[in-house]
Amino acid sequence: MSGSTAAEPWIRRSANPKLDRVMVTPEGVSLNVTVAAAGARAGALALDIIIILGLIFLVTIAGLMLLWGLGVAVDGNLENASGPLQLLAVLWIISVFLFRNAYFLYFELGDRAATWGKRAVGIRVAARDGGRLTAEAVIARNIVRDVELFLPLVFLTSGEASGSMTDLTAWAGFLWVLMFLLFPLFNRDRLRGGDVIAGTWVIENVKKNLGDIVAPSAANLSDDGTAMVTRYQFSDDDLSVYGEYELQTLENVLRSDQNEALQKVAESICQKIGWEPGSGDERVFLEAYYTALRARLERSMKFGKRRKDKFSPHE
């Protein structure tokens, strides 16, 4: 993936840069995505399993209540049961099967392509090639889940219960589970077996708010009286000490708007460009400097010259 117009590599986008990827939309625009970390996946799965168990539990309770309401005695042997008890047993088996399989299908086919567990941890399923996430893909990734997770669990527990489990089969089953559970850790994109088969991956949701303009006072003042522009005039030399990295650090400081940080940054900038640091006017000074620096960097950007940080050479 080339992604020439993707975000610059020196901008740190997520907690673990190893998980940052570029996905190209059908329009040819590359978008930055972050692959969901293994921990988030495990958390989401645990939540989903708890929810499914909860649903099964609720259905069981509801069935028992119904039985109790109908006054049918439960006499242990379901195989020879008859009437309402049998009907309920059939419904119960079918609903458990549906919960186990259709729960994932229904939610991952929805608009948010995520089960409740995935929504809770803020991740979703997407097609790896940037195309549409198809129903077939969702079905494929969830059929394989059965083998990865539920089957070995059933196998191990039933084998244990019936006592037919030898040490060898127990270990084989354990290895099987382990192999699939750890599979996502052994590939870059954190794909589990089902993701490989279905051509999907699981990525993080993003939700960012549009912040205000970084340096509004610069606009205000210059607009109606140019008081500030006359107060702070920066020469070319004053602006040439910093690059884009410093500009973005300054942006963060301005956005977070904490007096202490403003003061410290103003001081260090003054020191760097050889000005005498004033006091009480840090925010206006920093906004003015930010605006001037950004104007300068954006101008040279138009000519295809970018400056990464203060250590990069001048063009």
Residue 231 sits in the site that holds another protein (CB under 8 A): no
Tell whether residue 51 is a contact of another protein (CB under 8 A): no
Of 36-44, 51-59, 198-206, 267-275: span binding another protein (CB under 8 A): 198-206
Side chain identity at residue 178, one-letter code: L
Q: What tokens does 133 get? A: 């996430």
For another protein, which is the closer residue by CB, 5 or 235? 5
What letter would DSSP give residue 6?
A: S
Q: Which is nearer to another protein, 146 or 267 (CB)?
A: 146
Q: Which of residues 7 and 38 has its CB atom nearest to another protein in the complex?
A: 7
- Is residue 257 involved in binding another protein (CB under 8 A)? no
Q: 271 to 310, contacts with another protein by CB under 8 A?
A: 291, 294-295, 297-298, 301-302
| CB of 67 or CB of 277, closer to another protein | 67
Pick from 280, 278, 295: which is nearest to 234 by CA?
295
Q: How many CB atoms lie within 10 A of CB 248?
A: 16
Residues 128-167 that bind another protein (CB under 8 A): 128, 131-140, 143-144, 146-148, 151, 154
At how many degrees (to 10) do helices 282-302 and 244-256 cross? 140
Please give the residues from 73 up to 132 whose contact with another protein meets the rule CB under 8 A. 78-82, 86-87, 89-90, 93-94, 96-97, 105-106, 109-113, 124, 126, 128, 131-132
The C-alpha atoms of residue 81 and residue 91 are separated, in whole angstroms, by 14
Query: CB under 8 A: which stretch of 48-56, 64-72, 212-220, 266-274 binds another protein?
Result: 212-220
Per CB under 8 A, which of residues 12..31 are in contact with another protein? 25-27, 29, 31
Whole-angstrom CA distances from 282 to 11, 196, 225, 289 are 26, 54, 20, 10
Give the integer Cα–Cα distance in Å for 47 and 116. Answer: 8
Looking at the Cβ atoms of 79 and 237, the one nearer to another protein is 79
Site for another protein contains 61 (CB under 8 A) = no
Contacts 24+ apart (CB under 8 A), 140-145: 140/194, 140/197, 140/198, 141/108, 141/194, 141/195, 141/197, 141/198, 141/200, 142/101, 142/104, 142/105, 142/108, 142/194, 143/194, 144/193, 144/194, 144/197, 144/198, 145/104, 145/192, 145/194
CB of 242 to another protein, least distance (A): 11
CA distances to 43, 85, 226, 253 from 80, rounded to whole Å, are 41, 10, 92, 74
Is residue 178 involved in binding another protein (CB under 8 A)? no
**CB nearer to another protein: pick between 248 and 263:** 248
Rule CB under 8 A: say whether 63 interacts with another protein.
no
φ, ψ (nearest 5 deg) of residue 80? -100, 10
- The reply on whether position 182 binds another protein by CB under 8 A is no
Nearest distance in Å: CB 172, another protein: 12
Does the protein bind another protein through residue 225 (CB under 8 A)? no
Tokens of 306: 């970018």
Does an H or E element contain 268, and which? Answer: helix 259-273
# residues contacting another protein (CB under 8 A): 84
> Tell me, what DSSP letter sits at residue 7?
P
Please say which residue, 86 or 312, places its beta carbon nearer to another protein. 86
